[in-house]
Amino acid sequence: MSKPPTLHAQMTSWRHDLHRHPEFGFEEIRTAAFVAQTLRGFGLEVAEGVGGTGVVATLKRGTSNRAIALRADMDALRITEATGAGWTSQSPGLMHACGHDGHTAMLLGAARLLAEDGGFDGTLRFLFQPAEEWGRGALAMLDDGLLQRFPFDEIYGLHNMPGLPVGHVETGPGPIMSAEDNFEIVLRGQGGHAARPQAGREVLLPACALVMELQTIVSRRLSPADIAVVSVTELLTDGTRNALPGLARILGDARSFRAQVSDRIEQEMRRIAQGIATLHALEATLSYTREFVPLVNDAALAQEVLEAAATVADHVAQPDQPVTASEDFARFLDHVPGCFAFIGNGEGSAPLHSPTYDFNDAALPYGAQLLAAIARRRLPEG
């Protein structure tokens, strides 16, 4: 009889399979089935369809009535892959450009470790979440009765970090990832012939001025002590080569760590948009939505994760500053305390959300061992 594969080899195989078959948020049908089948192979109790395509597995040992949750995300992005890897995406226009394939493989690896070796007393919930990328998956699982059906006292999660060496772990207390707000400003005027700009109320020049003015919100309207980012990502008009546009749409996002800062950004954005519109005799409307809340680690549990990481990682540290990316893991922290940590994906890694990004398979054992170490530390035997 052949020996079962080593954990690292098995996680690598899982990761490559998941990478070949990426699925967008709430469409993770194959991924969820793969996860559920693998977990049942370890003898875990498995529930599917939680929050749409989410999977929750339960593993119990001993007599303690305490429970903790370990979470991974499963969804991919609408990006065309350009890695050239042997496990390149087979789904055109979709790829795992954020490493969720690696996160899923690491949590499956932790489940195998904990099912085979135990070492804890209590209940473990393994959460495989859909639709993290657009900030709806955690809410969907919560709205589907996650905490009532599968109660837990604490929750932990990991995300890979390009630029951080493999084997390194970083986390800390308090705000560690930002909120994300989305905005769309629409300017309406009257388009016309490019040769006669005086005959209409074109919107392209005012839109360009508006884009520049938005940059003053962070530099001139917010305290230097507050970390914030306002980014315009799209400027769309209904013009053509020889016609001045009568409608312009300016889209983007804003990042911050405090609700008061988010509110101030919206207020300033409305003031600037209306001022530009008045100056150029246009109409302006602003849609401003809050997609992600700040991710705030529990101070005591962050220390627990740092100490657990010290038993498995090559290097453990607190980050120099919060990350201005966002994570809907934060939604779970609105209900129970927990901690989110970063694990190194290598100094030569391409950036997240890049067509050339790929999760580093060398990081898989570190992630699985860290998740298992957290479980054993927070649910100690005896």
Tell how strand 168-170 and strand 315-317 pair up: parallel
Nearest to 54 by CA among 39, 66, 43: 39
Q: Rounded to whole angstroms, how far apart are CA atoms 217 and 215? A: 5
335-348 per-residue burial string, b: 16 or more CB within 10 A, e: under 16: ebbbbbbbbbbbee
Residue 133 annotated as binding site = yes
User: Collapsing DSSP states into helix, strand and coil, what is residue 156?
Assistant: strand
Q: Which residue type, as a one-letter code, is found at position 325?
A: A
Which tokens in the block code for residue 382? 């005896």
Residue 100 annotated as binding site = yes
276-295 per-residue burial string, b: 16 or more CB within 10 A, e: under 16: bbeebebebeeebeeebbbb
R_g of the chain, CA atoms, integer Å: 23
Q: Rounded to whole angstroms, how far apart are CA atoms 188 and 10? A: 57
Residue 168 annotated as binding site = no
Alpha helices in 238-338 (DSSP H): 259-279, 299-309, 330-333
- As annotated, the binding site for Mn(2+) includes 98, 100, 133, 159, 353
- As annotated, the binding site includes 98, 100, 133, 159, 353
